[in-house]
Structure formats: structure tokens, C-alpha cells
């Protein structure tokens, strides 16, 4: 049987490898057969020693999913909620996304996608495909249609 101190070290290493949420750590502790008060004590220790910080997780997650994968706010928010983060942490994470960068990213991905669709002759089909693509990436429908109108005027 593994000593509980060893499990705490494993949990600390698990958190040090990459940012984690409380739920992810709790789930991993259950795999290691640590439940209840003992698991909560370990989580408290990890929080106090700054191995575990959900605000930091939300900031890094939101920022990287936006910059690297070019996800929209809706998809990022949905993923943060799915990871059981508090509304406060979600709000902190979403603040990492600059409004101007957000619009520029949306314009860039739509223009790139429009270029890929250059063989399509029907403008309405192009608009529909662009909208479906951007909305699927988590961008807000109203904003997507506004930007599509701008880039379709450019020709």
C-alpha cells in the first residue's frame, strides 16, 4: 500500500506538470483511493502551497484556447463550466481575451476560410459556410454575421 505522504507528493507532481482544477485533482485522488476528508485535506494543502489555483487555470486555459486554437468566447466559457469552475473564475479567465484581438482573430479566421471557399460561386452558400465555421468555433452569432458582412463587401 502506498503511504499517504507519497500520494500527496504524487498529487503535487500532478498539479506541477500542468494547471489543474479542483475537480480534476479530486478525480485523480479517487483513482488513488483517497476520498472524503482526507482528499479535501490534500486539496487544501495543494491550494495553500499554490500547486492548485483555479483562477490561474482559468486565465491560462482561456488565453491559450483563444490564442492557439482560436476558439470563441462561447466555446471557452462552455469548457470552463464543464470543468466545474466557479462563475468568478470563469469571469477572470474570460478577461484574458482582449476585445480588439478577439475581433481581429475572428476577421482573420473568416478571411482565411473565405479564401478556402473561393471555388464556391454562390455568395449565400459562402456566407452560410463561414457562419457555421465561426459559430462552431464558439464565436457569437451576431458578431459573426457582422464581420461576414464586412468581409463579403471587400471582394
Q: What is the per-residue pLDDT across 44-96, written as a single tens digit (0 to 9) for each?
A: 999 999 999 999 999 999 999 999 999 999 999 999 999 999 999 999 999 99
Mean per-residue pLDDT, 28-35:
94
Mean pLDDT over all residues of the chain? 95
pTM of full prediction above 0.75: yes
* Cα dist from 141 to 19, 77, 103, 138, 148, whole Å: 31, 15, 13, 9, 10
For the chain, the structural domain boundaries read 4-48, 54-94, 99-154
Confidence of residue 1 (pLDDT cuts 50, 70, 90): very low
Mean per-residue pLDDT, 114-124:
93
| Contact status, residue 108 vs residue 145, Cβ threshold 8 Å | no
Amino acid at each position: 500500500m502506498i503511504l499517504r505522504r507519497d500520494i500527496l507528493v504524487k498529487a503535487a507532481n500532478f498539479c506541477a506538470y500542468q494547471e489543474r482544477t479542483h475537480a480534476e485533482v479530486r478525480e485523480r485522488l479517487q483513482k488513488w483511493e483517497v476520498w472524503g476528508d482526507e482528499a479535501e485535506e490534500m486539496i487544501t494543502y495543494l491550494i495553500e502551497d499554490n500547486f492548485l489555483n483555479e483562477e490561474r487555470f482559468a486565465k491560462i486555459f482561456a488565453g491559450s484556447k483563444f490564442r492557439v486554437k482560436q476558439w470563441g468566447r462561447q466555446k471557452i466559457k462552455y469548457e470552463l463550466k464543464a470543468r466545474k469552475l466557479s462563475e468568478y473564475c470563469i469571469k477572470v479567465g474570460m478577461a484574458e481575451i482582449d476585445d480588439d484581438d478577439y475581433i481581429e482573430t475572428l476577421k482573420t479566421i473568416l478571411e482565411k476560410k473565405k479564401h478556402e471557399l473561393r471555388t464556391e460561386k454562390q455568395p449565400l452558400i459562402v456566407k452560410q459556410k463561414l457562419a457555421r465555421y465561426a459559430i462552431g468555433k464558439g464565436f457569437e452569432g451576431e458578431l459573426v454575421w457582422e464581420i461576414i458582412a464586412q468581409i463579403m463587401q471587400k471582394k
